[in-house]
Amino acid sequence: MMAFTGIALALVHYGLGRHIWTLEQENLLMVFKLFYIVYYVYDVSLFLTKTSALLFLTRVFPRHANPPWWNFALWTTYGLNVAWLFGICFGTAFMCKPLAKGWNPFLPGECGTTSALWIGSAIPSVVIDLFILLLPLPKIWSLKIGTARKTGVTLVFILGYW
């Protein structure tokens, strides 16, 4: 949030909210650079949110108290999360040729479609979110408590992640 707030304040300083043709060339270039940085800040914040939830599951369900398949699923989800971060960062960095065209649209060259990058980012991100949401369910439903309490604990986990 601090990074987003800082970037938003910088964007306002450089002319965000004004018509694009009223901005000076150097301010316009800085606005494009800041928007480019926002992609990375957003991706890292999503990664850290998912990592936080996974660390919570690691703490609530200690390794020694889990069956091997559960530990494998947990660490596989960690790995998918890291792979997603590297993939989206590389995808963002290498979307344009030359690389500088990613933040400077005035340079000659070409860029891939951003919608393809966003869809390619969103689908794995949602799948990882589903893994994180579904992972504790077998552990919760194997507890020796009533169905109403199991449902309540399940809702607490789901709402806590949401």
> Does the CA dihedral 7-12-13-16 come out positive or negative?
positive
**Residue 97 has what pLDDT?**
92
**Residue 162 has what pLDDT?**
67
Query: Which residue from 42, 38, 137 is spatially nearest to 84, judged by alpha carbons?
Result: 42
In the chain, what are the domain boundaries?
Answer: 2-161
**Residue 1 has what pLDDT?**
77
Q: Are 80 and 124 in contact (CB under 8 A)?
A: yes
Reading the block at residue 96, the tokens are: 């344009």
Q: Are 92 and 43 in contact (CB under 8 A)?
A: yes
pLDDT tens for each residue of the chain, 162 residues long: 788 888 888 888 888 888 878 878 778 888 888 888 988 999 999 999 999 999 998 998 888 888 899 999 999 999 999 999 999 999 999 999 999 998 888 899 999 888 998 899 999 999 999 999 889 888 888 888 888 988 888 888 778 776
**Residue 82 has what pLDDT?**
97
- CA 32 → CA 21, 62, 108, distances in Å? 14, 45, 16
Q: The pTM is what?
A: 0.83
Long-range CB pairs of 3-8 (<8 Å, 24+ gap) are 3/41, 3/45, 4/38, 4/41, 4/42, 4/45, 7/34, 7/37, 7/38, 7/41
